[in-house]
Amino acid sequence: MTTTTRRPVPATARRRTWPAIGTLGLASSGIVTLVATWWIAADVFDLSENGVLASPLAVLERLVTLTYDPLAGLTLPGHALASFERWGAGFAVAAALGLLLGFAFAWWPGFRSALLPAFEVLRYIPPFAWIPLAILWFGPGFTAQAFVVFIAVLPPCVLNAELGVRSVDDYVVKASRVLGASRMSTLVTTVVPASLPTALTGLRIGVGNGWMALMGAELIVGRSGLGYVILSGQQSNDPATVLAGMVAIGVLGALMDRGVRFMANPFIRWRKGVETGAA
Mind listing the domains of the chain with CATH numbers?
56-263 (1.10.3720.10)
Instruction: Choose among 54, 57, 79: nearest CA to 66.
Output: 79
Answer yes or no: pTM beyond 0.85: no
Summarize the confidence of residues 213-236 as an average pLDDT: 91
Rounded to whole angstroms, the Cα distance separating 93 from 16 reads 38
* 62 neighbors 240 (Cβ within 8 angstroms): yes
- d(CA 164, CA 106) in angstroms, rounded, equals 9
Q: Is residue 42 scored above 80 in pLDDT?
A: no
Residue type present at position 139: G
Instruction: Tell me the average pLDDT across 141-147.
Output: 93
- Name the amino acid, one letter, at 1: M
Which of 33-47, 163-177, 235-249 reaches the highest mean pLDDT?
A: 235-249
Q: Do residues 122 and 63 lie in contact, with contact meaning Cβ atoms separated by under 8 Å? A: no
Contact between 199 and 161 (Cβ < 8 Å): yes
For the chain, give the mean pLDDT. 82
pLDDT at 274: 45
How many distinct helices (H) and strands (E) make up the chain? 11, 0
Overall average pLDDT of the 198-214 stretch? 92
